[in-house]
Structure 1
Amino acid sequence: MRPARIVLILVALVAGSLAAFLVTRGNRTPAPTAEVRTEVVQEAKTRILVARTPIGVGERLGIDRVEWQDWPEGALRPEYVTVSAMPDAPTQLTGAVARFEFFPGEPIREAKLVRTKQGYLSAVLAPGKRGVSVTVSAASSAGGFVVPNDHVDVLLTTSSAMGQRSEVILSNVRVLALGKRLGEMGASGGDETGSAPSPTPTTFDATTIATLELDPAQAETLVNASTRGQLSLTLRSVLDFNRADAGTARANQAVRLIRYGKEQSVMAGSTMSADATDTTNMPEISPALVAPEAPQVLPQ
């Protein structure tokens, strides 16, 4: 057989084998792919008590102001009120006074409530504090922009032979209320009708009553100062609220000064007026003549 014919036969065999291979591969059924299924597992939930409407400082809770809401158990905190621990919580907490503001949807926590049937302001006061009220005007209170929960300095302005002078008698004290308003700007700082808070700040433009949160010594200082001159409030920055200088700016304790046989009540630590400090031809005052003002004891 001729070599050329042998080559043609080999080429034909190779071509036929290749064609058969391609045809067989084209008719092969593709292997099935594995189906991936994503199963969504719902996280366990419980129900907690939340505020349905804004609740301001000093306001009482009611059944219409709270509601139950589903809450993931993984995000549950021990202080939340749950339906399993207190199923009748809306009824049990009715009448409790809010010591801090609640926003809609915020979980109700008993640490922010006071269960009492007494007054509103006494529930807002911190332990050991006193609520002392003074008369102020917009001109003497940062243009009327002082609102409840702001911190202020209290200035005393007095008149003497040398003219008027002012001094800080209390520093960084908290404003509990202005007039009939309690709490912060917002739900508790809105108008007196209890309607939704206005988007503009609520100010006052006339004379009102400012109630300050003071300790007993500060309360005595403020009451004594109110008889000596005019009081003004200077507004502090919100960054100063937690500073350590809160309290009395000086040791302003009332003392009884006897001079020339006359008794005069002055504030210890404050600068005396010109006529009180004039030492010309004044005899030396014995320390025994300067003593703290004795408290008055009422008969039983």
Structure 2
Amino acid sequence: MKPSRIVLLLVAILAGGLAAFLATRGDRPVQVVQGPETVIEEAKIQILVAATPIGVGERLTAQTLEWQDWPEGAVRPEYVTIAAMPDAITEMSGAVARFEFFPGEPIREQKLVRTDQGYLSAVLAKGMRGVSIAVTADSASGGFIVPNDHVDVIMTRDGENGQASEMLLQNVKVLAIGNRLGEIGATGAPADPENPRTEVFADQAIATLELDPVQAEAVINASRIGQLSLALRSIADFTEAAGEVRRRPSNQTVRVIKYGQETNVMAGGTTPAAAPPTVVDPASYTPPEPAAEEPPAPQVERQ
């Protein structure tokens, strides 16, 4: 074999070996040496939360409150922190809850009221009255009306042609049913001797409604002359403008009985609009005769 061919063969073998080496080396993953991971925990602060379910109108106690760690970045200004109020559990004991608290929910002053008065007056809106009426299960949607529901009040009484029913009030809030104020537990749950507020009444109960003064007077009068029933409204009707008082439409009246006489009063507290003034034809108008002047009283001279 000629020397030139031997050289070309050696060059080809070396080139092929070099290509195979480079190909196998490129398939290997690049090894990156990583150091130990460092976990940085977010700073936490203790805030006051509900340890147990707290119902509407329930007074706070040391057993229903506890401190809980909370991410410092998620603490809102209205939360009660241990740094700001280290004795908050003692100081807040006795406050009344205006809204429900769930276990683990932060305690906020906006949902509480500090008062020594009754719990029902603490949950009443400003200017409203709590009026209680006796209702039965069949006259209150089968007993499934619970506090915070909205209802219509219907009065049934004897008339000339038999019994007749009429709408008395619309979309009023139920504050309490019996001694149940607020919702704790599932509706229709079995009877719980330690917490009777989870029961749905089956016989007769006392329904307490949130009414304005005119509505309160109408309901009290109506309960004396007829039977009152509650019609449960859909939850879609609950939403109203902030601060709007729930009452009948302005074009409807409420019958108020005073001193044995019936008077129609607007649900907002105003009397119906007065009748328009009588129009008099100027041609047929006769002015009234002037009243006769009385003679002046005689003067007595003093001596």
Give the structure-2-normalised TM-score.
Answer: 0.74
1:57 equivalent in structure 2: 56
* Deviation (angstroms), 1:251: 2.2
2:65 equivalent in structure 1: 66
SS in 2 for 1:223: helix
- CA separation of 1:108 and 1:18: change in aligned 2, threshold 3 A: same
1:266 equivalent in structure 2: 262
CA distance in 2, matches of 1:73, 1:6: 84
SS in 2 for 1:247: coil
* Deviation (angstroms), 1:33: 3.1
CA distance in 1, matches of 2:13, 2:256: 121
In the alignment, is the contact (CA less than 8 A) between 1:152 and 1:234 conserved in 2?
A: yes
1:252 paired with 2:254, answer yes
* Deviation (angstroms), 1:253: 5.0
What is the 5 A alignment of 1:91-170? 91-170=90-169
2:82 equivalent in structure 1: 83
SS in 2 for 1:132: strand
SS in 2 for 1:123: helix
CA distance in 2, matches of 1:242, 1:24: 77
SS in 2 for 1:226: helix
* Deviation (angstroms), 1:197: 8.0
Paired residue type of 1:254: V
- CA separation of 1:239 and 1:21: change in aligned 2, threshold 3 A: closer
Q: Matched residues, percent identical?
A: 54
In the alignment, is the contact (CA less than 8 A) between 2:179 and 2:197 conserved in 1?
A: no
* Deviation (angstroms), 1:207: 1.5
CA distance in 1, matches of 2:56, 2:105: 14
Measured against aligned partners, the alpha-carbon deviations of 1:32-53 in whole angstroms (never above 9, x if no partner) come to: 6342654322112111111111
1:35 paired with 2:41, answer no
CA distance in 2, matches of 1:65, 1:10: 95
* Deviation (angstroms), 1:94: 0.4
What is the 5 A alignment of 1:235-246? 235-243=232-240, 246=246
1:217 paired with 2:214, answer yes
In the alignment, is the contact (CA less than 8 A) between 2:137 and 2:201 conserved in 1?
A: yes
- CA separation of 1:168 and 1:267: change in aligned 2, threshold 3 A: farther
Paired residue type of 1:265: Q
CA distance in 2, matches of 1:219, 1:84: 46
- CA separation of 1:187 and 1:79: change in aligned 2, threshold 3 A: farther
1:6 paired with 2:6, answer no
2:294 equivalent in structure 1: none
Deviates more, 1:57-66 or 1:178-187: 178-187
1:287 equivalent in structure 2: none
In the alignment, is the contact (CA less than 8 A) between 1:58 and 1:123 conserved in 2?
A: yes
Paired residue type of 1:204: F
Deviates more, 1:34-43 or 1:58-67: 34-43
Q: 1:204 is matched with which residue: 188, 191, 201?
A: 201
Deviates more, 1:185-194 or 1:154-163: 185-194
CA distance in 2, matches of 1:101, 1:134: 25
Tell me, which stretches of 5 or more residues in structure 1 are unaligned?
A: 257-262, 271-300
CA distance in 2, matches of 1:47, 1:122: 32
SS in 1 for 2:139: coil
* Deviation (angstroms), 1:85: 1.5
CA distance in 1, matches of 2:164, 2:19: 109
The alignment covers a number of residue pairs equal to: 256
* Deviation (angstroms), 1:247: 0.9
CA distance in 1, matches of 2:187, 2:129: 21
CA distance in 2, matches of 1:232, 1:169: 10
Deviates more, 1:247-256 or 1:78-87: 247-256
CA distance in 1, matches of 2:239, 2:100: 19
* Deviation (angstroms), 1:254: 2.5
Measured against aligned partners, the alpha-carbon deviations of 1:235-259 in whole angstroms (never above 9, x if no partner) come to: 1111111247931353215366xxx
